[in-house]
Structure 1
Amino acid sequence: MDVDDKVFKVAAVQMVSINNKEVNLKKAEEFIIYAAKEKARVVVLPEMFNFSGKLNQKRENAEPIPGPTINRLKDLAKKFNIYLLCGSILEKSYEKGKNIFCNTSVFLNPEGEIIAKYRKLHLFDVTLPDGSILRESELITAGNEVVCVKTSLAFFGLSICYDLRFPELYRKLAREGVQVVFIPSAFTLQTGKDHWEILVRAKAVENQFYVIAPNQIGKDTEGHRFWGKSMVVDPWGTILTKAPEKECVIFAEVDLSYQQEVRKNLPSLSHIRKDIFNF
């Protein structure tokens, strides 16, 4: 990795997705192009950026990977010479004699190639404070693999939304040496107002890496409300940038020399009691 590459600009896209895939994709493409023109080297979309709708609509709009959505974004990544984290889409895959659906994130390199694919490990099966019941597992099959990828720019780790509540995943990524973690999300308003910032900053502090966390904002066509407040956080837990209450792109600089300095001066990861904890 060249010295010049130790500092690079990243972008997080905050948007609301509706039950019209073409509208969502055009919006995402506009944000990506804007971020690329602002010299972002890495652009990160939120969870389920290409479609949000009723259960039957989600099934109908699921795609293989690669498929129409990813192929469009592969072209953009190549055209603008960027790394592009395709937040997540609903992936349809035929495995073990049946169709399954996964909440899947795809990472593209500047050549437009898929360099990592991650299926969400932890599914959002909860009852919200207002009594609303959400069961992601009604449709989606959980993944079973922790995913990280080394590039010429940095060592990246992948996760999605509700994964944020499970520190074991992020500690494993940290132990692998990951420098930057993606957390594309559709974090709800009800949980986000109390937990979003705390959880995002905690992951950065505990594991001493950068966190890029784009979130959905506003209300989708089904009436689900999302917290927004997309952010980029450094390894000290400092919020480098936070999105306002609207669809937008936010920018920050990742400085890998600073990340190395934090880990050197406060070497908590090397102080883990491996004789007690199974890490």
Structure 2
Amino acid sequence: MHSERPEVAVVQMNGRADWSANRPVVERLVAEAAEGGACLAVLPENLLAMPAHPAELVAMAERDTPAAIESLCDMARRHGIWLVAGTLPAVPAEGGHGSQVAARSLVIDAKGEVVAQYDKIHLFDVVLPDGESYRESATFRAGDSLVLVDTPAGRLGMATCFDLRFPELFARLARQGADWFCLPSAFTRTTGQAHWHVLTRARAIENSAWLVAAAQVGRHADGRETYGHSLVADPWGQVLVDAGNEPDCVRFARLDYEWLRGLRERFPVRRLHRPDLFDDGQ
């Protein structure tokens, strides 16, 4: 489905507290991605909002998410570009626990149709070395399904933020044919400084696949500071683009499939993998 050298865009944002403030920023960045020649753009985690209190996302799931999805579909259609829109709070199909929503990423095609959705599997329930703590499970219900989808940039395996720390997810997606991974993210500044680049590069190297990681950056309404450095890592672990700490920007990278085929022939880590020897959930 992909062309031999598709251009992709990775979007970095300093997310605001509600969709009304984020929507015009997203509109501008999607337009910039399309005008720059990208067939597909990956947008950050918490795309709908970075509110002062995470619990606000539960109310936003019913109140704001449907209109935001409609807006995103309209943007994709008008600009003729595919979007990985992640994440938005969404009411799970089977219903939440009253105070829980899904952290959902959507793949929207250039006709403005939602063609895939992924609910974040691994939730960020941690205490950082400086005492800063997060408990995503208080707001979100974890997903339980792996998602792959064919896009103009190749076969996509979907992941979100904290998923990055679980290599088994990426290995399974790779065995099912993923050529590249998306990673909408909102890494904290503390964890990003320590782990962002080494983990994104590792997941790309391990699986001979590109990783396109779109991040939040800067300080947000809840006082949290995110790391930024939205990037594209290639299958050899080279960082092709890195947005640093610039707010509200777009970076472009080209996925060279002729080069990838050659790499996989010369360095066939997928073929040499021995999942039969390990208990990886199969």
SS at match of 1:55: coil
**Residue of structure 2 equivalent to 1:83:** 82
Contact kept in structure 1, 2:40 and 2:153, CA below 8 Å? no
Distance 1:87 1:275, change over 3 A: closer
Aligned equivalents of 1:164 and 1:48: distance in 2? 16
**Residue of structure 1 equivalent to 2:26:** 28
**Residue of structure 2 equivalent to 1:42:** 40
SS at match of 1:249: strand
**Residue of structure 2 equivalent to 1:106:** 106
Aligned equivalents of 2:115 and 2:219: distance in 1? 32
Distance apart, 1:151 and its partner CA: 3.4
1:70 is the counterpart of 2:80: no
1:128 is the counterpart of 2:159: no
SS at match of 2:55: helix
**Residue of structure 2 equivalent to 1:246:** 246
1:16 is the counterpart of 2:14: yes
Distance apart, 1:16 and its partner CA: 1.3
SS at match of 1:6: coil
**Residue of structure 2 equivalent to 1:266:** 267
Contact kept in structure 2, 1:64 and 1:93, CA below 8 Å? no
Contact kept in structure 2, 1:229 and 1:242, CA below 8 Å? yes
Distance 1:17 1:7, change over 3 A: same
**Residue of structure 1 equivalent to 2:194:** 194
Say which is worse superposed, 5-14 or 16-25, in terms of deviation: 16-25
Distance apart, 1:259 and its partner CA: 1.6
State the Cα deviation string for residues 211-267 of structure 1 (Å, max 9, x = none): 100111000011101111110011111110000321111111111222222111100
Letter in 1 for 2:56: Q
Contact kept in structure 2, 1:31 and 1:249, CA below 8 Å? yes
Distance 1:96 1:218, change over 3 A: closer
Contact kept in structure 1, 2:65 and 2:89, CA below 8 Å? no
Contact kept in structure 2, 1:88 and 1:106, CA below 8 Å? yes
Q: Which runs of 5+ in 1 are unaligned?
A: none
Letter in 2 for 1:109: D
Aligned pair count? 277
TM-score by length of 1: 0.94
Aligned equivalents of 1:107 and 1:226: distance in 2? 24
SS at match of 1:169: helix
SS at match of 1:95: coil
Distance apart, 1:93 and its partner CA: 3.3
Distance apart, 1:132 and its partner CA: 1.3
SS at match of 1:246: coil
Contact kept in structure 2, 1:65 and 1:91, CA below 8 Å? no
Letter in 1 for 2:46: M
Distance apart, 1:126 and its partner CA: 0.3
Aligned equivalents of 1:64 and 1:212: distance in 2? 30
Distance 1:239 1:171, change over 3 A: same
Letter in 2 for 1:57: E
% identity of equivalent residues = 36
